[in-house]
Amino acid sequence: MDKDLKNKTLEELEQLLPELGGKKYHAKYIFSFIHTKDAAGIDEITPLSKDLRAKLKDSGYFISRLNLVEKFIDPDGTVKFLFEMADGARVESVLMKHRDRQTVCISTQAGCRMGCAFCATGKLKFNRNLTAGEIVDQVNRVAEEEGTVNNVVFMGMGEPLDNYDNSMRALHILNHHAGKCIAQRRLTISTCGIPSAIERFADEELQVHLSISLHAADDETRAKIMRIGGKYKLHELLASVRKYQARTRRRVMFAYCMIKGVNDSDQDAARVIKLLKGLNANVNLIEYNPHPGCDFQASDRNRIGRFMDLLMKAGIETTVRYKRGEDIKAACGQLGATWLDKKRSGDTSGS
């Protein structure tokens, strides 16, 4: 039985407390002290009686906490955090600062099983899924260091829908009014595109944003740069998106990493336009971020601009995400790149 109180929803805590002699309302004290006051230990939850706190501890309950190993600050203001969990597994999170908001990109797995060719994390060995508490605590630790977090993107290390249950639990914890109370419309799940999981996500009836990594609009190219493209064809992915939109009426964002000579031609743009026809969708073009062990190059900015113009003229709302955090390897696709550097140099001392 899971004993980490940070993993539990308020409803689960409400079921637990009477079993230990507490009252249902005590659950809200625990939940709010963990997620708004950042309580690190049960004894810090002072509204609970000493007797109830003792019973919780004697029963093996605890509050987990990520260890901040290192913090990196890019000249553009982006901040990368290296966190270590109780078993020594490590993940990275990234804070992107804007004039009126702070967005944190969090990890859901230590490593990744998806193996996308252009992504540094995909070249790391998969270690394990993160618990909901470990996913949520990235937001807590970043807020502790840098102040209020307004937006959360499940787009760090790992595939959120490959760790489905813990990702959904983390969404509910972050959104709950007794905790961080981050609005659903300020939460985003990013996936490389697992059709069955996208359909399952539609049934959650959430107002959370969905972003799908497309990166190519033909099966052959997509399979070369994304392992999942060899498992699920584009017609399967798009069928799941149509089912998702039929149930939710929500727009879907498609992320498209611009890789020179691979997926950035006018013909590629025409394929994207044809593929997305009839969908309520927008496209986010991502300037490719190089990392060790990958020979891909970024499309030049004129080519990115041309690609964007073609999509916009076809009526597809399109934005461009230019590199941020590149100097500290915190840009999209670079999480874990520092570890790859050290593996190649023979340094196994950590981050």
How large is the C-alpha radius of gyration of the chain? 21
158 carries a ligand binding annotation: yes
How many other C-beta atoms lie within 10 A of the C-beta of residue 102? 18
Give phi and psi for 267, each to the nearest 5. -65, -35
Q: How far apart are CA 128 and CA 107, in angstroms?
A: 12
Q: Judge whether 12 counts as a catalytic residue.
A: no
Among 11, 70, 92, 294, the active-site one is 92
192 carries a ligand binding annotation: no
112 carries a ligand binding annotation: yes
235 carries a ligand binding annotation: no
Question: Two tokens at 251?
Answer: 């727009």
Q: How far apart are CA 320 and CA 317, in angstroms?
A: 11
Among 105, 192, 294, 332, the active-site one is 332
Query: With b meaning 16 or more CB within 10 Å and e meaning fewer, what string describes 31-55?
Result: bbbbbeeebeebeebeebeeebbeb
Q: How far apart are CA 315 and CA 40, in angstroms?
A: 50
1's CB contacts (< 8 A; 6+ apart) are none
Question: Two tokens at 205?
Answer: 């009836």
190 carries a ligand binding annotation: yes
214 carries a ligand binding annotation: yes
213 carries a ligand binding annotation: yes
Q: Judge whether 192 counts as a catalytic residue.
A: no
175 carries a ligand binding annotation: no
Q: How far apart are CA 343 and CA 338, in angstroms?
A: 9
* Bind-site residues for S-adenosyl-L-methionine: 158-159, 190, 213-215, 289
* Bind-site residues for [4Fe-4S] cluster: 112, 116, 119
* Bind-site residues: 112, 116, 119, 158-159, 190, 213-215, 289
Please give the positions annotated as active site: 92, 332
